[in-house]
């Protein structure tokens, strides 16, 4: 009878500590690499193209670290408004991060600072509207301190107390105040929306600050009216158009309700009345009660909200390309009547710039499998509006006839980041240095390569998109009162 040897007890098996440790380290490394490649990775934001949503700024020393979800895009395609990390199409050795604006199969156009889209099969372009969470994240709060101008006779009856949480108005009687005082219009100030602690450190020279009138606005405040108050109104100016958001006070006729009145439209004037509040109460101010009031003109849509609920809204015709904008607070009340307006804040929307001297594209016909991405910092973002390929044809050697392309970063004088880089001599230039779309460096002697026509490259293909930014987890800069932990919208 043959015998089968019993297994040796585990306690007596030979131990190989070095091999065990190496195996454990190898497994750990493999797990980390796979996790990083397929699931989650942390990225440092090196530039300011997505500011202030994502900060990357050498002047302040603030560089956000973001967590990027790479898992989701293995199972689904990117969605509009997501902030995506992708390989830069003109140099795939680099990662870029931008917001997805244009989707496959549609046309996209920048008009008057707003994106307009025409999906496949649709006859006309429509303005692109964002979900509330995205809109809230992209609005930029304006610095209103000291910028409210009182109308004649108002100053003696109104007091304004500037506050970081919002300006406070104490109004004893009729009057009005208008923002801004200094400029004729609200414009796209480069530092709008930046944390207060770092605004003064940001250099705005040559960044297109205050060039464009911005009329897409939101204002929010808290209102408390006394028994003598007849009316509280917030008016948004857009060129000759006026959008009045009116709240009847306790002294108004009992039949009056909150309403929006739009005048100066190409068509007839528009009025929308809110019959009641969501809780069933009449849409009007009552004596001594405090209400949060929010009004907006965003993407050709007017909205009035009271205590967070939308009580009236209306769509309006597209705005003129250039329209001066202001915000006016008006109170109708007899002298001695006291109404308070607290925490008054004003925001503006992103204004998507297009400068033909620098940017090449303001309209895209997007083929399947491609996207248009734009930076939230529209004045200072290298994105689908200006990406351009420089192309050279090789004239000599084994590669004769081959075309080499790279990211065009031309400069009037040689500098390390120029592409192509011409190394000069007495005969204009001796050598050409070019980095191609894979990031590889090519050096050509004079006459070995001929420059072809440059070609715009405004799209990002699906296969280059790696993941979506989900959260900012760093930095902390208590010296600037900056704490950047947040979800990315």
Q: Tell me if 215 sits within 8 A of 323, measured CB to CB.
A: yes
* Residue 414 burial (CB count, 10 A): 12
Name the DSSP class of 20. H
Q: Tell me if 146 sits within 8 A of 162, measured CB to CB.
A: yes
Q: In terms of Cα–Cα distance, which of 255, 257, 262, 227 is closest to 241?
A: 262
Could you give the residue numbers annotated as active site?
Answer: 49, 98
Burial class of residue 375, CB neighbours in 10 A (0-12, 13-18, 19+) = buried
Q: Where are the alpha helices (DSSP H) in 106-192?
A: 132-138
441-448 long-range Cβ contacts below 8 angstroms, 24+ apart: 442/404, 444/392, 444/394, 447/395, 447/396, 448/394, 448/395, 448/396, 448/397
Residues 6+ apart with CB under 8 A from 17: none
Strands (E), 162-307: 167-172, 175-179, 217-224, 231-238, 241-248, 259-263, 270-273, 290-297, 301-306
Helix (H, G, I), strand (E, B) or coil at 158: strand
């Amino acid at each position: 009878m043959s015998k089968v040897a019993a297994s040796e007890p585990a306690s007596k098996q030979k131990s190989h500590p070095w091999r065990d440790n190496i195996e454990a380290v190898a497994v750990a490394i493999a797990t980390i690499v796979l996790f990083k490649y397929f699931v989650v990775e942390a990225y440092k934001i090196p530039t300011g193209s997505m500011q202030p949503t994502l900060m990357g700024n050498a002047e302040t020393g603030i560089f956000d670290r973001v967590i990027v979800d790479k898992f989701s895009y293995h199972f689904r395609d990117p969605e509009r408004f997501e902030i995506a990390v992708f390989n830069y199409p003109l140099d795939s050795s680099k990662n870029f991060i931008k917001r997805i604006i244009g989707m496959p199969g549609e046309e996209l156009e920048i008009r008057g600072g707003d994106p307009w889209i025409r999906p496949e099969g649709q006859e006309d372009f429509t303005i692109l509207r964002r979900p509330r969470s995205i809109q809230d994240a992209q609005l930029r709060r304006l610095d209103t301190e000291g910028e409210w101008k009182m109308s004649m006779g108002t100053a003696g009856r109104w007091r304004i107390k500037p506050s970081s949480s919002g300006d406070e108005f104490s109004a004893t009687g009729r009057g009005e105040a208008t923002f801004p005082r200094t400029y004729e219009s609200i414009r796209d100030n480069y530092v709008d929306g930046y944390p207060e602690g770092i605004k003064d450190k940001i250099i705005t020279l040559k960044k297109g600050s205050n060039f464009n009138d911005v009329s897409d606005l939101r204002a929010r405040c808290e209102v408390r009216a006394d028994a003598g108050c007849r009316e509280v109104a917030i008016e948004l100016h857009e060129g000759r158009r006026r959008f009045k958001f009116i709240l009847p006070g306790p002294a108004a006729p009992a039949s009056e309700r909150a309403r929006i009145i739009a005048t100066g439209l190409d068509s007839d004037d528009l009025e929308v009345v809110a019959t009641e509040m969501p809780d069933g109460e009449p849409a009007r101010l009552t004596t001594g009660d405090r209400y949060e009031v929010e009004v907006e003109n965003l993407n050709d849509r007017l909205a009035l909200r009271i205590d967070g609920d939308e009580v009236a809204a209306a769509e309006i015709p597209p705005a003129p390309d250039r329209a001066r904008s202001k915000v006016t607070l008006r109170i109708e009340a007899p002298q001695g009547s006291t109404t308070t307006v607290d925490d008054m804040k004003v925001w503006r929307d992103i204004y998507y710039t297009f400068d033909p001297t620098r940017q090449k594209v303001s309209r895209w016909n997007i083929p399947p499998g491609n996207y248009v991405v734009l930076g939230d910092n529209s004045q200072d973002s290298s994105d689908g509006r200006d990406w351009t390929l420089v192309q050279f044809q090789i004239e000599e050697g084994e590669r004769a006839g081959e075309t080499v392309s790279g990211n065009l970063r031309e400069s009037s004088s040689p500098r390390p980041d120029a592409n192509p880089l011409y190394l000069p001599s007495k005969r204009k230039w001796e050598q050409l240095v070019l980095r191609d779309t894979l990031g590889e460096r090519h050096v050509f002697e004079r006459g070995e390569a001929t420059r072809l026509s440059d070609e715009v490259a405004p799209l990002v293909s699906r296969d280059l998109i790696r993941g979506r930014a989900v959260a900012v987890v760093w930095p902390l800069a208590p010296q600037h009162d900056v704490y950047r932990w947040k979800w990315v919208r």
